Structure 1
Amino acid sequence: EEKLIYELLLSSPPDQVAVDVETISLEYPEPIGLSIAVSPTDAFYFPILPEPSTYLTDVIKLLQSPDILKIFHNSLYDLKALAEYKLDQSNIVDTLIMAHLAGERFADLPYLANSIGIELPELPKIKQWIWDLTLEQIVTKCCTDAEATYALYQHYKDEVDAEYLAVEMKLIPILITMSGKGIRVDQPLRAVIEAELADELKVYEDLAEEQGFNPGSPKQVAYMLAKDGVFLPMTKKRKSLRTDEATLRKITHPIAVLALTYRHSKKLYSTYIRPLTGEDRCHTNFHMDAITGRVSSARHNLQNIPKGRMRSIFLPDTPPFTDLDFSQIELRTLAYIAQDDAMQAIFDSEGDIHQA
C-alpha cells in the first residue's frame, strides 16, 4: 500500500483528486480522517485522529497546491472542517452543486451515486458520533464516498455549463470566510433580553398553571380548549388535534392566545438567546443546496432572525450595517429570459410586479 500511495498519489501527483472528510459528528465537525480518490475505484484513507498518518503532511501539501483540481461533495462542509490546514480553494469543484446545476432536486451522495449505477456499502446508522462505526467501517465509508465523488464529477463535467459552475465555485471561499468570521454579539444586551424573556415565560407559565395546564403541551392546550367547547380539527393522520400556529390564530379564546404567546417567547428564548450565552461572535453554516438556488444557513440560522429586539443583539464590526438585497430577482430573471414585454415594462418603471 505504501508503494501505491507514492506511485499513484505522491511521487507524481494526478491532475485531479476527489476528497472526502470524516468528522466526529455534524455538531462537532473536527476531522478524524480524510480520503483521496485518484479514480472511481482507487482511494486512500489517511487518519487524523487519534493518531495522524505518517503521510498526512505530504497529503496536505498536495491539497494545498492550486495546480491540482480538488473534487468535493459538499465542499462548504469539508473545507471548513479542514480549515486549519489552509487547503487551496482556487481550484475546486463540488459535485453537489454540479448536480443542482444539472437539474437534480436531491443531491445527497448515496442518491446521486445510485443514479449512476454506484451502490455505496450499507453501514450501521451513525446515532451520534462517527465512533459508532468501527475503524474498518469508517475507512470503507470515507474511501467509497471519495470514489463516488470522483465518478460523479466524471458524469457531470460535460453536462454542466462551465460558466455557471465557475460562478458558483467562486462563492465557496467567500462563504467559508463569512462563516468563520461570524458576527459580533452584544452580550450585555443579550443578557438583558434573556432576563426579560425569562420573566415573560414565568408569567405565562403561572397563568397556565392557575388554569391547570402546561402551555407548552399541545395535548393539554387542545384538552383545555375542548373543555370550553372549542373543538380543534384533527391532524392529517387523525392521531391528534391540530394545535399549530395557523390553527390557533383562528381562535380568539384566551387559552389559544396564551399558548401562542408562550410559544413565541419560548422560541426566542431557546433558539436565539440562550444558545449565544458567552459567545462573542455568532457563527453559521452556509449551504448552497436549496432548490431555489439561494444560500441557506443553519446552526445558527442567521438568515432567519426575527425582526425587532432579537436583531438588536448583533453588532457590525465597523458601523453601520449595510443592507443589500436584490429586488424581485427571480422574477426579473424570468422576465429577461422570457422577454415578456408586460413584465419588463413593470420593472422598467420601478413597479412591484406582485401588485401589478
Structure 2
Amino acid sequence: SPPVISIDTETISLKDRTCIGIGIALNPREAVYFPILPDESRYLDLCWELLSRPSVKAFCNALYDLYAMTEYRADGEQGGGAWLDAIVQEARLPSWLGHGRLADISTMSHIQALSSRTLADMSRAYAGFKIDTIEDILPERQNMLDLETAEVARKCMDDCLATYRVYDKMGGPAWWSADFHTWSYEPNWYDGCDPLEPTSYTVTQAMKDCYQVDMKLTPLLMRMSRRGIALRADLVEDWYRRTSEARLQMEDICLDEGFNPASPQQVGIGLASRGNILPFTKSKRQLATGESILSQLTDPLAVTVLKFREYSTLKNNFLEPWMGFDKERVAHILARVYNHYRMDLSTARLSAYDFHLQNIPERIREIFAPDTGLWTDFDLSQIELRLFAYITKDPAMLQAYADGIDIHVITQEALWPGTDPKDKQMRRRAKVFNFAKIFYGTIRSLAGYTKLPEEICRTHNNTWKATYPVAEQWMKDQEEGEEWIENL
C-alpha cells in the first residue's frame, strides 16, 4: 500500500454530482481511472480496496469528491469492504477519514492565502505541471458524459497527479507535525508566473491548527448532510398555505396599482410614479429596488413589495420543495430534508446547497423536529467583541467582561440614557452600534441598520467613541498605520 494516494472524481456536471468515474494517483507519475458511467469498470472493486487501505488520501476540494463517492455507494453499489458503511442513513464514514488520513490542498492554499488556489493554477505555478480545466475540454452546454471515456480518464488522472504533486510540494505529511515547516518551488517562467509572489512559504503552527480542525470537521459535515433533519408535516402544510395566501394578497395589492411585484423594472416604475425618488442601477438601465433602498421609503407600497419578496422567498426556497409536489401537484411532504456543504474555493467560507439550511428564517424554524425530542443550541457569546476587547485593551470593555456585565447594556445606557435594558428595539440598536463599529461601520450603514436619521447616528457615533476611547484610538491607529492588514 502506498503511504499517500491522491483522489479525484468526475461527475456529470457541477450541478449534477452523479459520479461517472474515480481516479487515483499512486505516486507523482502513475495514476489509474475507474469508469462508472456510461460503462462501469469490471475492476471497480480494486478501487474500493485501494480506498479502504490506511494510506493518506489527498484531495483538492475534498467535500465535493467525498460526496460524489459516498452517494454513489449509498445509491445501490453492491460490493463489500469498508465502504459499505456509507450505505447507512447517517453515513458512518470509512475509517480512513480519521486523524491525519485526510488531506485537502485547497484548504492548505486558503490557509496560506496563496495567490494560486485552483488546482490548475497551483499545479502550473508550484509543480510545473500544466493541466486542462473543464472549460478547456468541454464545449458549452455539454456535460462530461458527452465526452469520450478516454478523454474523461485523461483529465481525471491528470488532476490526480497534479493533486499529488502539489500536496508533496507543500510538505503534505508535515501539516500534522508539531513544528513549523517551510516549502519552496521553482518559478514556472515558461508557462507564466507572478514575479512578485514569494518562492517559499512557511507554514506556522497556527496554520496547522486551523488546517487540522478543518480536516476533522469534514467527516462531521458529511454525517450532518447524510443524517438530515426531520420535518413536521402538519406545520409544513400549514405554513405553505398561509404563506401562499399572504403572498397572493401582497401581489393583488401591487397589481391593483398597475405593476407586477415580481418584476424589479415594474416595481421601480410603479414606485417612481407615486413620487418616490429611486437611484439607478449600475447599468443605468432601470431603477434600483433593492431591500436597502425600499426599506428607506415611507411609501406603504414599498413595504408591500418587501413583504411580497419575503413570502416569495419562504415559499419558493423552502416550503415549495418541502411539500414534494409531483407533476399533478399532489403533495408528498418530505419526512426529512438534507443538504450538502462545500468550502467556497474563492473565499474558503462554508456554504450549503441542496437545500440551503444555514440561514433558515427564524419564523419557520418550528417546522423542524428534533430526533431526540429536545433541541440543544449553543452560541459563542459576543466572540468578536471579546476578541476586540482583548486586542485593543480597552479598559471599559475589559472591565465589563471581567465583571460579567452585558456590554450591550453599557452601550445602550451610554447612547440612550434611562432606557429600559429589556427594551428589544433599543437593545438591538445598541448591538448594531457595537458590532458595526468594530468593523468600521459608516454613518450611512449605522442609519440603515438602526432605521435612525444619519444626523442622530452621527451623534451616537461620537458618544460610542467617548465610551470606548482606547478602542477608538486603536482603530484610528490601524487605519493610519501601515499599508497592510494582519489577521488576528
Indicate the TM-score class for this superposition, using the shorter chain for normalisation.
0.7 to 0.9
Q: How many angstroms does 1:19 deviate by?
A: 0.1
Asked if 1:198 corresponds to 2:244, the answer is yes
Q: Which runs of 5+ in 2 are unaligned?
A: 74-82, 87-93, 172-180, 182-201, 324-332, 409-433, 436-467, 469-488
Asked if 1:327 corresponds to 2:338, the answer is no
Change (3 A) 1:126 1:178: farther
Q: Which residue of 2 aligns with 1:89?
A: 97
Q: Aligned partners of 1:279 and 1:149: how far apart in 2?
A: 39
Name the amino acid aligned to 2:145.
Answer: W
Q: How many angstroms does 1:301 deviate by?
A: 1.8
Q: How many angstroms does 1:136 deviate by?
A: 3.3
Change (3 A) 1:38 1:259: same
Contact 2:268 2:286 in 1 (8 A): no
Contact 1:186 1:315 in 2 (8 A): yes
Q: Which residue of 2 aligns with 1:53?
A: 41
Matches within 5 A, 1:38-49: 38-49=26-37
Name the SS of the counterpart of 2:24 in structure 1. strand
Name the amino acid aligned to 1:45.
Answer: Y
* Match 1:274 to one of 290, 296, 320: 320
Q: How many angstroms does 1:187 deviate by?
A: 1.7
Q: Which residue of 2 aligns with 1:300?
A: 355
Change (3 A) 1:292 1:54: closer
Contact 1:105 1:291 in 2 (8 A): no
Name the amino acid aligned to 1:89.
Answer: L
Q: Aligned partners of 1:328 and 1:279: how far apart in 2?
A: 36
Asked if 1:101 corresponds to 2:111, the answer is yes
Q: How many angstroms does 1:68 deviate by?
A: 0.6
Matches within 5 A, 1:61-72: 61-65=49-53, 67-72=54-59
Name the SS of the counterpart of 1:82 in structure 2. helix
Q: Which residue of 2 aligns with 1:174?
A: 220
Name the SS of the counterpart of 2:160 in structure 1. helix
Contact 1:102 1:156 in 2 (8 A): no
Q: Which residue of 1 aligns with 2:403?
A: 349
Q: Aligned partners of 2:158 and 2:339: how far apart in 1?
A: 29
Q: Which residue of 2 aligns with 1:80?
A: 67
Q: Aligned partners of 1:128 and 1:186: how far apart in 2?
A: 40
Change (3 A) 1:94 1:228: same
Report Cα offsets for 1:220-246 as digits up to 9, x if no partner: 111112222323101123232111111
Asked if 1:155 corresponds to 2:210, the answer is no
Name the amino acid aligned to 1:187.
Answer: A
> Once superposed, what is the RMSD of the aligned Cα atoms?
2.6
Q: Aligned partners of 1:126 and 1:281: how far apart in 2?
A: 36
Q: Which residue of 2 aligns with 1:34?
A: 22
Name the SS of the counterpart of 2:380 in structure 1. coil
Which structure would you say has the larger Rg?
2
Change (3 A) 1:293 1:36: closer
Name the amino acid aligned to 1:323.
Answer: D
Q: How many angstroms does 1:145 deviate by?
A: 1.6
Asked if 1:141 corresponds to 2:141, the answer is no
Q: Aligned partners of 1:269 and 1:128: how far apart in 2?
A: 31
Q: How many angstroms does 1:289 deviate by?
A: 4.3
Q: Aligned partners of 1:321 and 1:346: how far apart in 2?
A: 31
How many residue pairs were aligned? 341
Matched-pair identity in %: 35
Q: Which runs of 5+ in 1 are unaligned?
A: 1-12
Q: How many angstroms does 1:260 deviate by?
A: 1.1
Q: How many angstroms does 1:269 deviate by?
A: 0.5
Q: Which residue of 1 aligns with 2:338?
A: 283
Asked if 1:25 corresponds to 2:37, the answer is no
Contact 1:126 1:133 in 2 (8 A): no
Q: Which residue of 1 aligns with 2:297?
A: 251
Q: Which residue of 2 aligns with 1:9?
A: none
Q: Aligned partners of 1:332 and 1:192: how far apart in 2?
A: 42
Q: How many angstroms does 1:286 deviate by?
A: 1.7
Contact 1:46 1:55 in 2 (8 A): yes
Q: Aligned partners of 1:322 and 1:235: how far apart in 2?
A: 44
Q: Aligned partners of 2:3 and 2:322: how far apart in 1?
A: 44
> Relative contact order (alpha carbons < 8 A, sep ≥ 6): 1 or 2 greater?
1
Contact 1:96 1:289 in 2 (8 A): no
Name the amino acid aligned to 1:307.
Answer: E
Contact 1:100 1:289 in 2 (8 A): no
Q: Which residue of 1 aligns with 2:131?
A: 120
Name the SS of the counterpart of 1:303 in structure 2. coil
TM-score by length of 1: 0.86
Change (3 A) 1:346 1:25: farther
Contact 2:118 2:345 in 1 (8 A): no
TM-score by length of 2: 0.64
Q: Aligned partners of 1:44 and 1:118: how far apart in 2?
A: 18
